[in-house]
Amino acid sequence: MTSHPPTAYLFPGQGSQSVGMGKDLFDNFAEARSVFQEADDALGFSLSKMCFEGDESDLQLTANTQPAILTVSTALYRVGRTEGLPAPKFAAGHSLGEYSALVAAGVLDFAAAVRTVRNRGTYMQNAVPVGVGGMAAIMGLELDAVEKLCKEAADGQVCSPANINSPSQIVIAGNTEAVDRACELAKPKGAKRAIKLNVSAPFHCALMKPAEEHLKADLAALEYGEFAFPVVQNVDAEPNADPRSVGEKLERQVSQSVKWLQTIQRLSREGVERFVEIGPGKVLTGLVRQIEKDAVYSNIENTQSLRENLS
């Protein structure tokens, strides 16, 4: 395994879900069946059935999406390791994906994490009444310009960068009217596009403070194991190997920006040359391509792509 370049495993967040995800893995590997069974037992209903053959609208509900993506990502990771995927130098996850990274690193117990993210999804969904908040992707403006744009658009309401995804893609969140104003202001300020997102709540902004407060008790009740490898966490884009600080960082993550651009840049400075996205979809692979053009990248989302990464 020494021939592998220094590698970081990346775990996707909400938005990567699709009905059918994980099914071929379940059919082909006992390790995957074990993970899905553990999730079903932890939640008291068949999450696996929802993933494999459920209704799209049910899977899109935040309280279902979060445990579903965590479960598929964990199944992929565990099967990969059983089949010979090497341990990474680092891991990171985008928003919800941070829980997948922490499970992979041995910090969080999987069943406890599944229950926690289901609650997290419920808290986030309930934090803001439907229609009060929104999100939009601003394309072609750098972070400092987006921060100024948000301040101008806020006008006494909430409007701030939520996901700092790449040098030219920043998602903003806040009150619906403020986000609409930001979209109108974006083009004249040099943005290529401003796209309102079809989301159920304004994630990663100050409107999520009620969700953060609810989640605090859940996180305090968890046990945190030692890190098998460091995880770069969203709130500060710093590698963490201290179990004592994990809960507090996960708590703050709910209402603060996801620093994904800074995370990938930090991993590169740490010597990472290869990025492997483990989970449904290829969203993070696309972002890595925008941030570190010379990096080697791949993704593992099913049996075929797993075998390609092992060959």
- Assess contact for 8 and 272: CB atoms under 8 A: yes
Q: What pLDDT digit, counting tens, does each position of 116-170 carry?
A: 999 999 999 999 998 899 999 999 999 999 999 999 999 999 999 999 999 999 9
Q: Half-sphere exposure of 205 toward its Cβ, with a 13 Å CA cutoff?
A: 28
Residues 6+ apart with CB under 8 A from 12: 69, 73, 93, 94, 97, 100, 277, 279, 280, 281, 283, 284
Q: C-alpha 285: how far from its chain's center? A: 13
Q: How far apart are CA 154 and CA 179, in angstroms?
A: 8
Q: What pLDDT digit, counting tens, does each position of 3-31 carry?
A: 679 999 999 998 888 899 999 999 999 99
Active site residues: 95, 204
Q: How far apart are CA 284 and CA 234, in angstroms?
A: 14
Classify domain 133-199 by CATH architecture. Answer: 2-Layer Sandwich (3.30)
Residue located via tokens 């989302």 = 301
- In the three-class reduction of DSSP (H, G, I as helix; E, B as strand; rest coil), residue 7 is classed as strand
Q: How far apart are CA 27 and CA 4, in angstroms?
A: 29
- Assess contact for 69 and 10: CB atoms under 8 A: no
Q: At what angle do helices 97-104 and 110-127 cross, to 10 degrees?
A: 170
> Whole-number mean pLDDT of the chain?
95
Interior CA angle at 140 toward 137 and 145, to 5°? 85
Q: How far apart are CA 195 and CA 175, in angstroms?
A: 15
Q: C-alpha 286: how far from its chain's center? A: 14
The pLDDT value recorded for residue 1 is 39
High-pLDDT (> 90) share of the chain, %:
90
Burial grade of 188 (CB within 10 A; 0-12, 13-18, 19 or more):
exposed
- Closest by CA to 51, choosing from 34, 29, 66, is 66
Q: What pLDDT digit, counting tens, does each position of 26-77 carry?
A: 999 999 999 999 999 999 999 999 999 988 888 888 899 999 999 999 999 9
Burial grade of 44 (CB within 10 A; 0-12, 13-18, 19 or more):
exposed
Q: How far apart are CA 204 and CA 232, in angstroms?
A: 17
- Closest by CA to 74, choosing from 35, 119, 48, 38, is 35
The pLDDT value recorded for residue 59 is 87
The pLDDT value recorded for residue 2 is 45
SS3 content of the chain, % helix, strand, coil (to 5): 50, 15, 35
Instruction: Report the CATH fold assignment for 7-127+207-310.
Output: Malonyl-Coenzyme A Acyl Carrier Protein; domain 2 (3.40.366)
Alpha helices in 223-302 (DSSP H): 246-253, 260-269, 283-291
Q: What pLDDT digit, counting tens, does each position of 230-278 carry?
A: 999 999 999 999 999 999 999 999 999 999 999 999 999 999 999 999 9
Bridge partner residues of 277 (DSSP): 10, 299
The tokens for 60 are 């899109």
Q: Give the domain ranges of the chain.
A: 7-127+207-310, 133-199
Pairing label, strands 193-196, 133-139: antiparallel
